[in-house]
Structure 1
C-alpha cells in the first residue's frame, strides 16, 4: 500500500511539474508575441517568468545576457549576510543574427551549510530535467524574438534611410523642374523675340526685295526659299533639316529643300542654274545617303515626313 501511494504521489508531482512547465512556456510565448516595450523590459519580464516557473522560485535566480545587456531576477546572495553558495545551476547558450550570443543561466541559491543535499526545509535544490528543458525552450524562443526584433530594427532603419533619400531626391527633382521650367521660359522668350524681329524687319524687307523689277524669276524663287526657311526656324522640321545638313553637302541640302517644296528636277535645275542630269545625280546621291534604296519610297514624301 505504501508503495502504491508513493507511485501515485510521484505521478501527481510529475503531472504538476509538466503543467507548470507548459504554463510557463505558454506565458513566455504569449509575452514574445507582443511587440510593446523595449528590449530591456522584455528581457526583465522573461527572466521573472522563468524564475517563477522554477520548482523553488524563492531560491532561484535567473540571468539573461546578450552582447549589450544583462538582466537578473531573484536572489544573487542570501539575505542577512549569511554565507551562501550556488547549490545547482544550468546554462543555455543560443545564437541569433550573425552568431550573436544569448546566454540564460538559472541557479538555486542556498546556505553554505546546506551543501547540495537539501536545505533545512527538506527541499532538494537541484535543477530537474523539466526545468532544464524549460530553460532550453526559453532560450530558443527568446533567440527567435531577438532575431526578429533585430530584423525589424534593420527594416525600420532602412525604411527611414530610403524615406530620407526619397525626400532628398524629391527636393532635387523639384529644383531640377524649376531650372527646366526657367530654361523653357527663357527659350520661349527668345523665340518670341526672334519671331517678332523676323516678322517686323526681315520678312517685310524680303517681300519688298522680291517685288523689285531688277530680279528675275530664279532670284524670286530663291527669296521664296529663304522666307520658307524662316518659317521653319522654330518648327519641328528645323531639327530634321539640321540632321540633313550633317549628312548632305551644301548643294545636296539645297536640292533636298527644293524637293521638299515639291519642285520638279526641271524647276530645280532652272532655279539653281544646273542641268537636269546634275539634279538627277544629286537626287540619287541623296537617296543613297538617306538609305532610300527601295524604288517604292518617294524622296519628296520622306523629306516632308521629317523622320530620319
Structure 2
C-alpha cells in the first residue's frame, strides 16, 4: 500500500509559482514546469506565467518512453535535449506538438527518495542561456525538495499530535470512568454506613426498651424490699443511675473514663458522682476515710485533675 503524502499547501504553490517565473526569466524560456507524477501520469502542477507558455495547469500526460519526463524518472537523472527536431529518439515526442524541441529536466523526490515529479525548462529552439543555467535549475530543484521535506515533517507532526490527542482523550475517558467508579463506590459506602448506623440505632433502641421495661421496674421493687439497709440502697442507687445513663447515651465519657480505673476506684467515682461524701462512701464500702481519700487522689491523677482547685464531682458531672 502506497504511503499517503501531504497535500501541497496554497502557500507552497505560491512559492513555487515565484520559482518557475524566476527560472523562466533568468533562463529566458517560455515554459518552466513543476510536474507531479501520479498513477502513471505526469500532471502540470505549477507553470510559469506568460502568453508563450502553451501548457495548462492541471494538464496530464501519460508516461511512456517518448515523453521527456519519463526518461528523467526512468533514469533518475537530468535529461537535456537541445533540439528534439533533429534527434531520432525525440523528434516525435508529445511536447513537439507545442513546438517544444528544447528540454532540460530534473527529478523531484520526497525525503524518502520516492518520486514526486520533475522540474523542467522548455523552449522552441536550442537555448544557450538555458543550457548555462542548468546548475541554477539544480539549485531550484533542491528548494522544491526542501519544501517537500518540510511538508512531510509538518504532516508527521500533525499525525503525531493527532495520535497524542487521541491518547489524551482515551486517558481522560479512563480517568472519567474511574472517577465515576469511585463516586459509585463512595455512594455505596455511604449507603452501607447509613445502614450500619441505622442498625446500631435499632439495637440501642431495643436495649433501651428492654432495660426500661424489664429491669428498671424491678429496681423500684428492690428499693421497697431493702428500705432499711442503707448500704444496699446506695449500691442499688448506683445500679439504677448507671442503667439510666446507659439508656440515655452509649457514648458516655464517664463510662470511657471508668475503663482506666480499678474496680474500687470505679465504684468510688460512681458514688462521688451521686454526691456522696467521703464518710458516706467509706461507710458504704466498709473502708476507712483515709483509704477513700487515697483512692480519690489516684482517681484525680488518672483523670488529669492534678490542680487542687478543680472539683472532682463537677468534673465527673461534666463527663456524664
Determine if the TM-score, normalized by the shorter chain, exceeds 0.5: yes
In 2, Cα distance between equivalents of 1:215 and 1:225: 17
Change (3 A) 1:177 1:263: same
Question: Which of the numbers 82, 88, 96 marks the counterpart of 2:107?
Answer: 88
What is aligned with 1:193? 206
Change (3 A) 1:304 1:44: farther
What is aligned with 2:260? 247
Which protein is richer in helix relative to its size? 1
In 2, Cα distance between equivalents of 1:264 and 1:292: 18
* Unaligned segments of structure 1, at least 5 residues: 1-42, 62-73, 93-103, 111-115
Shift of 1:203: 0.6
Shift of 1:175: 2.1
In 1, Cα distance between equivalents of 2:220 and 2:211: 12
What is aligned with 1:47? 7
Q: Deviations over 1:193-217 (max 9, x none)?
A: 2211112221110011112245412
What is aligned with 2:221? 208
Question: Which of the numbers 228, 236, 243 marks the counterpart of 1:223?
Answer: 236
Pairing 1:306–2:319 present:
yes
Shift of 1:229: 0.7
Shift of 1:127: 5.0
In 1, Cα distance between equivalents of 2:161 and 2:318: 63
TM-score scaled by length of structure 2 = 0.60
Shift of 1:149: 3.0
How many residue pairs end up in the alignment? 236
For residues 1-308 of structure 1, the aligned pairs below 5 Å read: 46-49=6-9, 52=13, 54=16, 59-60=35-36, 74=38, 79-80=62-63, 82=65, 83=70, 84-85=73-74, 86=76, 87-89=106-108, 107-109=115-117, 118=120, 127-128=140-141, 130-135=143-148, 137-139=150-152, 141-142=154-155, 144-213=157-226, 215-236=228-249, 238-306=251-319
TM-score scaled by length of structure 1 = 0.62
Segment drifting more, 266-275 vs 141-150: 141-150
In 2, Cα distance between equivalents of 1:119 and 1:75: 23
Shift of 1:304: 3.0
Change (3 A) 1:76 1:275: farther
Change (3 A) 1:155 1:257: farther
Shift of 1:218: 2.1
Change (3 A) 1:205 1:152: same
- Bigger Cα Rg: 2
Change (3 A) 1:165 1:57: farther
Change (3 A) 1:211 1:173: same
Change (3 A) 1:220 1:256: same
Shift of 1:257: 2.1
